[in-house]
Structures are given as C-alpha cells and as structure tokens.
C-alpha cells in the first residue's frame, strides 16, 4: 500500500514539475525558488530545527522575490 501511495505522489510531483517548465520563468520566480532553498539551508544550519528551516525558507523566498522583481524592472527599463 505504501508503495502505491509513494508512486502516486512521485507521479503527481513530476507532473507539476514538468508543467512548471511550460514557460520561461521571470527573475522574480527564479529568485523566490533559489531564495527559499538557500534560506532553508541557512535556517537549518543556524537553528537546527524544523521551525528554523521553514522560517529561513520563508525569509529567503521573500528576499529572493524582491531581488528578482528589481532585476525584472531593470531589464524592462533597458529594453526601451
């Protein structure tokens, strides 16, 4: 039973991952993902708990998103 559930979860995750590749992501989207991963790693290293990991991921996602938005704005200004 566990194997069937795990297989289903993997298939759904793969479908969503491939669906996310349907279009070119913006810098804000890339920054959010990279920031979340980096923040989670740093939060876990500093606090060593689930709360630290989740908090670090949330903070990293916010910071990464803002940096990406800024980069997107600068790219639009340069194209004019």
Q: What is the pLDDT of residues 17-74, one digit of tens each?
A: 766 666 788 899 999 999 999 999 999 999 999 999 999 999 999 999 999 999 888 8
Closest CA to 32 of 73, 71, 79: 71
Neighbours of 38 (CB within 10 A): 16
Could you tell me if 39 and 59 are in contact, meaning their C-beta atoms sit under 8 angstroms apart? yes
Q: What are phi and psi of 79, to 5 degrees?
A: -85, -15
**CA nearest neighbour of 39 among 60, 21, 25, 23:** 60
Q: Is the pLDDT of residue 77 over 90?
A: no
Q: How far is CA 34 from CA 12, 59, 73, in A?
A: 22, 12, 19
Domain ranges of the chain: 26-80
Q: What is the pLDDT of residue 41?
A: 95
pTM: 0.67
Question: Which residues, in sequence order, are CB contacts of 12 under 8 Å at separation 6+?
Answer: none
């Amino acid at each position: 039973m566990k194997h069937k559930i795990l297989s289903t979860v993997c298939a759904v995750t793969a479908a969503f991952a491939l669906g996310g590749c349907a279009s070119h992501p913006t810098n804000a989207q890339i920054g959010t993902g990279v920031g979340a991963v980096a923040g989670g790693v740093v939060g876990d290293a500093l606090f060593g708990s689930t709360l630290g990991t989740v908090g670090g991921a949330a903070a990293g996602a916010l910071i990464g998103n803002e940096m990406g938005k800024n980069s997107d704005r600068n790219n639009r200004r340069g194209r004019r």
